Structure 1
Amino acid sequence: MIIYPSLQKGATIGVTAPSSGVPDVLHGIMRQACERMEQRGYKIHCGETVWTQEKAKAAKATKRAAEWMAMMQDEDIDAIIPPWGGQLLIEILEEIEFEKIEPKWVLGYSDTSVLLLAMTLTTGIATAHGTNLIDLRGEEMDATTAMWEQVLATETGGTITQHSSPYYQREWQHENLSPHVFHLTEETKWKTISGEEVHIEGRLLGGCIDMIRHLIGTSFGRVEEFREKHCPQDSFIWYFENCEMLTTDLRRSLVQMKLAGWFNHCAGILFGRSSANQPIDGYIVEDVYQELMDELHVPIVYDIDCGHVPPQLTLINGAFAEVKVKDKKGVIIQHFRP
């Protein structure tokens, strides 16, 4: 059984940094993001870790974990959205008492996805892979990003539909902000390795593959145990996005996941757009995807709206999803099925 939190307008958002905080020079855009959220009707409560950053982390692991735990147990805080990801979130996992947290949404991506996946696998509480708080600082939100509110407001038993974006951002232009932060100029095309239409059903699990691969072999990455306890009749749809890995590193990570049993009961795999995926000796990312499809005999969809090349969908770890791809366009229907 999966537990789904629910978020309403006027909710209090806790902002803490389980990975990286915001350095002094960027405090201005962080305050702007908080102000935008308040203008949209939310209350914002920032922890101390948000405003500090040294040696690739916001603070010591014990402090980051304690602040996150405090917000998860605080009845006055309804959801948590970190400012962004980082590099060393995995340090805090052994400091967290997951059995003592209250069900509430945690939303983010990049390094935050380590916490999201670990939390869902460990507790059965659904988590939300989507926008970071810092990317909500614009006057507006593009239609794809803006769906985070509707998704997180969906009640248990409800259904929410998201469509592939019309356009995506090729590169970041931090000095040339648009009204919704991003510069969406390139036509979005969801692709399938088979070249055919795809229709997949299963429970969603995933995140930034650079980061979540490190859960393999730990007590926080027990995928089969999660399935047996929470959704024994269902297959999985895995979604991944690659932040920094070359094609060979991506391949190694996927093979490790396969050998660890993560792809048992797999119905299909989705890959987000990436500015990484650099080829090695002519070994391109489509080769990686083709080999994976040949080995697992499941559909592979790529260049979806997920990850470091915005905008992105809000994907719920634990939700039962239908994924449909036709003519380079995609639809993801998420059912908040317990």
Structure 2
Amino acid sequence: MIQYPRMEKGAVVGVTAPSSGIEPGLHDMFRTAVSRMEERGYHIRVGETVWTQHKAKSAPAKVRAEELNEMLGDRQIGAIIPPWGGELLIEMLDRVDFDRMPPKWILGYSDLSVLLLAITLKTGIATAHGLNFVDLRGTYSDHTSAMWEAVLTAKPGDRIAQQASAKYQKEWRHDDPSPCVFHLTEPTVWKTVSGGPESLQGRLLGGCVDVIRHLIGTPYGDVAAFRERHIPGEPLLWYLENCELNTADLRRSLVQMKYAGWFEGCAGLMFGRSAANRPMEGYTVEDVYQELSEELGVPVIYDIDCGHVPPQMTLVNGAYAEVKAVGGGGTLVQYFK
């Protein structure tokens, strides 16, 4: 059974940095995000780790974990949204208090997906893969990005539908800020390995391949135990995205996941758009997807709205999902059951 948190509109939102904090030169950008959220009626509580960054982390692992545990245990805080990802979140996992963790939304992506996936696998508490706090600094959000609020304020038993974006951002243009943060210029096209329409159903799990692969073989990556304890007999539906891996490294990572049993009981896979899928000696990412689909005998949908090429849907680890890809478009319906 999955436990679904719920955030009230106008709630207190805690911002802590379990991975990277904000360097001094970007503090004003972060303050803008705080102001925008306050204008939307939220109360923002910012932890000390947010304001510091040294040697690829916001603070020592002990400090990061203590601040996260404190915010998780604070009943006044309705949700936690870290500023962004980073590199070394995995260092503090062994200090996170999983045993006394209350159902509370944590939203984010990139390196944060290590924490999100570990929480859902160890506790059965749903977590939300989507925007980071700094992505909320716009005067408005595009329709795809804005769905984070509908997801986090939904009640257990609710049904949340999301549509593929109309356009995505090809490149960051920090010298030309957009009112909605992202510069959405390129037509979104959801693709399938089969070349035709695909429909998938299952319990969502996933995150950034670059970092969640390091949970394999640890107490924080026991997919088999999660399935047996929380969703017995139900299929998995994996969503994955690639931040920096070339195609050979991506392939190695996916094969390792397969060997570790992560794809047992898998009904299908979805891959987010990526600017990193560099071919190796003619070996393309389409080759990777084709091989994985054939080996597992399941459909693969790719270039979905997920990950480091915005905008992205809000995907809930643990939620039951129905996904359809047809004609370049797509729909995702999540059931909080």
TM-score range, shorter chain: over 0.9
Equivalent residue, structure 1, for 2:176: 176
Distance 2:95 2:232 in 1: 29
Q: Residues of 2 paired with 1:163 and 1:215: CA distance?
A: 30
Q: Tell me the residue number matched to 2:185.
A: 185
Cα distance between partner residues in 1 of 2:277 and 2:252: 13
Give the 5 Å matches for 1:149-168.
Answer: 149-168=149-168
Q: What is the SS of the residue equivalent to 1:251? A: helix
User: Which amino acid counterpart does residue 255 of structure 1 have in structure 2?
Assistant: V
Q: Aligned partners of 1:191 and 1:165: how far apart in 2?
A: 13
Name the structure 1 match of 2:262: 262
Where does residue 126 of structure 1 map in the other structure?
126
Distance 1:317 1:71 in 2: 21
Asked if 1:23 corresponds to 2:23, the answer is yes
What is the identity, as a one-letter code, of the residue corresponding to 2:25?
V
CA-to-partner distance for each residue in 1:82-116, whole Å, 9 max, x for gaps?
00000000000011120112110000000000000
Q: Distance in 1 between matches of 2:151 and 2:188?
A: 21
Deviation at 1:153, TM superposition (A): 1.1
C-alpha separation in 2, matches of 1:153 and 1:327: 31
- CA–CA distance in 2 between the matches of 1:260 and 1:10? 42
Secondary structure, in 3 states, of the residue corresponding to 1:78? strand
2:6 maps to 1:6: yes
Instruction: Report Cα offsets for 1:261-283 as digits up to 9, x if no partner.
Output: 00000000000000101000000
Q: Tell me the SS of whatever aligns to 1:35.
A: helix
- Cα offset for 1:7? 1.2
> 1:312 and 2:312 equivalent?
yes
Counterpart residue identity of residue 44, structure 1: I
% identity of equivalent residues: 62
For 1:297 and 1:196, locate their aligned partners in 2 and report how far apart those are by CA, in whole Å: 16
Task: Provide the C-alpha distance between the structure 1 equivalents of 2:31 and 2:133, rounded to a whole number of angstroms.
Answer: 10
- Match of 1:262, SS state, is coil
1:85 aligns to 2:85 (yes or no): yes
- What is the root-mean-square deviation of aligned Cα atoms in Å? 0.5
Structure 2 distance, partners of 1:177, 1:8, is 30
Secondary structure at the aligned position of 2:38 is classed as helix
1:175-216 Cα deviation digits (max 9, x unpaired): 111110100000000000100111111000000010100000
Determine the structure 2 residue equivalent to 1:73. Answer: 73
TM-score normalised by structure 1 residue count = 0.99
Q: Which amino acid aligns with 2:175?
A: E
What is the count of residue pairs matched by the alignment?
337
C-alpha displacement at 1:8, in angstroms? Answer: 1.4
Structure 1: distance between partners of 2:227 and 2:45: 35
- Identify unmatched segments of 5+ residues in structure 1: none
Q: What is the aligned partner in structure 2 of residue 45 from structure 1?
A: 45
SS of match in other structure, 1:125: coil
**1:142 matches 2:142:** yes
Alpha-carbon deviation of 1:241?
0.5
Matched residues in 2 for 1:79 and 1:51: separation? 19
Unaligned runs of 5+ in 2: none
C-alpha displacement of 1:233: 2.1
Aligned to 2:100: 100
1:200 aligned residue: 200
Aligned to 2:240, what secondary structure does the other structure show?
A: strand
> TM-score, normalized by length of structure 2?
1.00
* CA displacement at 1:66 relative to structure 2: 0.4
Post-superposition offset of 1:154 = 1.1
Aligned equivalents of 1:183, 1:294: Cα separation in 2: 36
